[in-house]
């Protein structure tokens, strides 16, 4: 699929609806622009990491320990 969008004077563009729906792009998601070794640009969509996404993965974190996990994450201990 090839779709073109225009860059505005404010240096903005929009993600085409077909791609937003196909990849589940929502407000707050990140658009990652990567230059390939071949000199092309690859675009990826990435969901931002949220505390609720990583809370259960912290070493020593237990279920229901969200406040302590948040404090440790803010202090950089995770």
Range of the domain at 56: 49-78
For 56-73, the pLDDT digits (tens) are 555 555 555 677 777 777
Distance, in Å, from the CA atom of 3 to the CA atom of 5, rounded to the nearest integer, reads 7
- Picking from 7, 54, 10, the residue whose alpha carbon sits closest to that of residue 33 is 7
Q: Are residues 74 and 36 in the same domain?
A: no
Q: How does 62-73 read in b/e, with b if 16+ C-beta sit within 10 Å? A: eeeeeeebeebb
Q: What is the pTM of this model?
A: 0.56
For 13-38, the pLDDT digits (tens) are 999 999 999 999 999 999 999 999 99
DSSP of 8-34, one letter per residue? PTTS-----HHHHHHHT--TT-EEEEE
Q: Cα 4 from chain centroid?
A: 22
CATH number at residue 19: 2.10.260.10
Total domains, the chain: 2
pLDDT number for residue 66: 72
């Amino acid at each position: 699929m090839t779709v073109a969008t225009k860059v505005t004077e404010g240096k903005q563009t929009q993600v085409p609806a077909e791609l937003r729906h196909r990849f589940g792009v929502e407000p707050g998601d990140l658009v990652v622009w990567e230059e390939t070794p071949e000199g092309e640009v690859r675009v990826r969509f990435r969901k931002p990491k949220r505390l609720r996404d990583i809370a259960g993965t912290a070493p020593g974190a237990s279920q229901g320990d969200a406040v302590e996990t948040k404090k440790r994450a803010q202090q950089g201990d995770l």
